[in-house]
Amino acid sequence: MRPAPKLATYEDLCALPEGVRAEVIAGVLDVQPSVLPRHARAAGALGRMIGGPFDGDDGRGGPGGWWILAEVDVRLSPQDIVRPDVVGWRRTRLPDPWDARPIDVAPDWVCEILSPSNQAQDRVRKRRLYARAGVAHYWIVDPAERTLEALALVDGVWHDAGSFDGTAVARVPPFDAVELEVGRLFPPG
């Protein structure tokens, strides 16, 4: 009889060479390629457009009250350590994230930006994982299709909170205090 395979943990991520992009999903180490420039554009734009009024303003000119971070390790369970493209916590739930690695508090909002190599991971596996962890809001941005899909968790089930294309100017939960010009997430064109 074969022994069960060892499930990967955060220690396995730490053992990888510096700069390697990886996550652990259901105990399986998943090494990912570098992102495409259109992916980086969307992450940076979200950091400015959401992070500005909700994190960077600290309530001066925007609602404030959030930490908006990119590419940080979040441990949802011993065998589920994700690195969302952009992620947010209400400051009341995570008052001091600055020296934590990984962060062991489930986020209030996660945004994953699709790449050709990760669509099933983000649309299926992570969607289920984030629901199980109690993440209240999940956005999926598709740079190739120039769309944003917003989901809200209600009683453990994802509900459609809106789907938007590059022409939309929308108020998207949980950041509906400001209008989001969806087309600004993507390269000109």
Helices (H), 25-178: 37-49, 51, 119-120, 126-133
For residue 50, which of 35, 71, 65, 72 has the smallest C-alpha distance?
65
Residue 64 in contact with residue 54, Cβ under 8 Å? yes
pLDDT of residue 59: 62
Between the two ends of the chain, the Cα-to-Cα distance in Å is: 58
Place of tokens 């996550």: 23
CA atoms of 108 and 130, how far apart (whole Å): 10
pLDDT of residue 99: 93
Strands 137-142 and 109-113: parallel
Residue 114 in contact with residue 140, Cβ under 8 Å? yes
Residue 164 in contact with residue 175, Cβ under 8 Å? no
pLDDT of residue 5: 79
CA atoms of 89 and 7, how far apart (whole Å): 28
35-185: CATH architecture: Alpha-Beta Complex (3.90)
Residue 60 in contact with residue 51, Cβ under 8 Å? no
DSSP class per residue in 71-98: S--EEEETTEEE--SEEEEETTT-S--T
What is the phi/psi pair of residue 80, to 5°? -135, 95
| Ranges of the chain with pLDDT below 50 | none
